[in-house]
Amino acid sequence: MAQRPRIHYTVTQKAVMWDRWQLGESLHEIAKLFDRHHSSVRRILAETGGIRPMPRRRAERALTLAEREEISRALVAGRSIRAIALQLRRAPSTISREIQRSGGRDDYRANRADQQAWDRARRPKVCKLAKHRVLANYVGKKLQGRWAPEQIAGWLKHTYPGNEDRQVSHETIYRTLYVQARGALKKELLAHLRRTRTMRRSRQHTQKTANHGRLRDTVSISERPASVEDRAVPGHWEGDLLCGSGNSQIVTLVERYTRFVMLIQVARKDTETVVDALIKHARTLPKELYRSLTWDRGSEMADHKRFTLATDIQVYFCDPQHPWQRGSNENTNGLLRQYFPKGTDLSVHSQAKLNAVARELNGRPRKTLNFETPAERFHQTVATTG
């Protein structure tokens, strides 16, 4: 098969790439538009870590290509610098500098001079974390502790109110990580993010596929009381299985009011094993702190009626292929992948290890809790109900 010649993408083509990338399309899908291999598109997007660069604009007073063409023609005609400056209504010094730095009278070419000027104008702004090394150290340490950039930004704002030198936006943290040319945060810190990608992806991008079974006698999430939906009262949980290799899994539970996380070790994912584990766990909590459970339509909850009879806790089921209806739990499962990567054996982790991971998650400040921690909110709730 003959090798195709390398293509030089136009500004318009690159704009199409970024539009598609931001809509969540894959590299392969974008590459098909240009009849190229996905690596060809990746080369363009990876230059800025998957983050769309700001469009460049010429300064209002900079010489234009049309003016440079007038200069080139005037030089060929033998006109003086002052005559050219008068024609273009520019200062003679401006015309003189332009000619000197672009080849002189004999070698001046308008197109080449214009491109050189465009290249010289590239002056990347020094990012905030590069200028404030103490702030960069704070951010680096929190990233190593598996804090999300948004958590770090919120914590800094909460901890250092009014001190701009000790605050940074989460977007700046992401840009500094993914665009290594900024040089403020080490690339190795990417491994501590929830998603260990080398390029940033759009929120609309997801690789998760639906794998829901058919259950009988379920109560739909649409019948869940309004007080559960608006998180007005504590005691309503969302649950799911986090799966690993070798048919291993962990039960993950998140309380909707406080975002408090609990993890349960299970040996298998058959419905008897999972429901037995959920019943045992439910009996460790006060009734006021466990009123309902929302689950997806996985076959592990086929025996949901036995769980409800044993605990008096109603189970509500999400609509098929609607994982966002358990948004808190979905978000938590994403966080847990920092500790339990996809494709690893989850059966090797003891319940003590799961408890330690849950404690660490519950100790992170959450934006939705005004940067309090789930542990603080949950213990306040326990004290109130007690």
- pLDDT bracket for residue 203 (50, 70, 90): low
Tally of structural domains, the chain: 4
The verdict on 274 and 170 lying in the same domain is: no
Tens-place pLDDT, residues 119-172: 887 766 677 888 888 888 888 888 888 898 899 999 999 999 988 889 998 888
* Same domain flag for 116 and 137: no
Query: Considering the domain boundaries, does residue 203 fall inside one?
Result: no
Q: What is the pTM of this model?
A: 0.50
Same domain, 184 and 294: no
Domain of 240 in residue numbering reads as 219-385
Task: Give a yes or no: residue 212 inside a domain.
Answer: no
Q: Tell whether 225 and 288 lie within a shared domain.
A: yes
How many residues make up the chain in this entry?
386
Quick one: 325 and 303 in the same domain?
yes
Query: What confidence score (pLDDT) does residue 213 get?
Result: 44
Residues 22 and 72 in one domain: no
Q: Which structure tokens are listed for 77?
A: 């005609």
The winner for highest mean pLDDT among 9-18, 80-89, 122-131, 196-205 is 80-89
What is the predicted pLDDT for the residue at 212?
Answer: 38
Asked if residue 325 and residue 225 are part of one domain, the reply reads yes
One domain for residues 236 and 378: yes
Q: Do 229 and 139 share a domain, yes or no?
A: no
- Burial letters for 237-276: b for 16+ Cβ neighbours within 10 Å, e otherwise? bbbbbbbbeeebbbbbbbbbbbbbbbbbbbeebebebbbb
Least confident of 58-62, 268-272, 356-360: 58-62
Question: Both 304 and 275 in a single domain?
Answer: yes
Answer yes or no: is 326 within a domain.
Answer: yes
Asked whether residue 205 is domain-assigned, the answer is no
Q: Is there a domain that residue 3 lies in?
A: no
Report the C-alpha gap between 160 and 108 in whole angstroms.
55
Q: Are residues 232 and 376 in the same domain?
A: yes
**Domain-embedded: residue 83:** yes
Q: How many helices and strands, by DSSP H and E, does the chain display?
A: 18, 6
Residues 337, 229 share a domain: yes
Give the rounded percent of residues in the chain with a pLDDT score beyond 90: 42
d(CA 225, CA 220): 11
